[in-house]
A = this chain, B = another copy of it.
Amino acid sequence: MITATILAVFATPHAGHFRTERVEALNLDLQGILGDRHYGFTRAAGAREKWYPAGMAMRSGRQVTVVSVEDLELIARTMDLPDVKPEWIGANILIQGVPDFTNIPWGTRLFFENGATLVNEGDNAPCRFAGREVAAHYPGQVDLDLSFVKSAKNRRGIVASVEQAGSIRPGPVRLKIPDNKNWSGGSLI
């Protein structure tokens, strides 16, 4: 177990919004954050799933997104910007204290204080859409959207599914990393 800290939580004010806003608490059932645009067991396939027809119904795996303050600082430094805020890129949870957070193993469980649990479904691939939101805050600079996609690779946090319903507020969180597998077939990839 690793203990870390939730600094803030955010949700989309309406299902149509990409950007999130700071809220007091996230209320989760097993489909995600009540009222959020990513709520649901399923979703439509998009540009990230080039191998599926666009709009095909698929398992969500992206109910909640979590970013770390350390990774956001690294992105901002790489882009030579003073700040990249979690709300701009649609994050739901801001965490502090997990080294190399975006790369934590798939299947890691995040146990929150009020009973909610999330399962890590992998790193969140940076998209130009999030990059445009960052760019909108620095109107004097060019190509920030593309620069974000490059700079945020392996730093843009994770997507997660709800395993146990509950609420999430700022405070402590415990992370359970799955047993290391040491798969012997790695040379085949």
Chain A residues near B (Cβ < 8 Å): 2, 30, 41-42, 51-52, 56-59, 61, 98-100, 103-107, 111, 119, 121-123, 154, 161-165, 177-178, 180-186, 188-189
Contact = CB atoms under 8 A, between A and B. Distances in A.
Given A56-B164, A164-B52, A183 B100 contact: yes
A93 to B, nearest CB: 17
A164 B58 contact: yes
Given A103-B182, A164-B52, A185-B100, A30 B2 contact: no
A79 B183 CA distance: 23
A189 B154 CA distance: 20
Number of copies: 2
B58 A163 contact: yes
A103 B56 contact: no
Contacts of A56: 164
A163 B59 contact: yes
Contacts of A98: 185
A107 B183 CA distance: 13
29 contacts: A2-B185, A2-B188, A30-B41, A30-B57, A30-B58, A30-B59, A41-B41, A52-B164, A56-B164, A57-B165, A58-B163, A98-B185, A99-B184, A99-B185, A100-B183, A100-B185, A103-B183, A103-B184, A103-B185, A104-B181, A104-B183, A104-B185, A105-B181, A107-B107, A122-B178, A123-B181, A154-B181, A177-B188, A177-B189
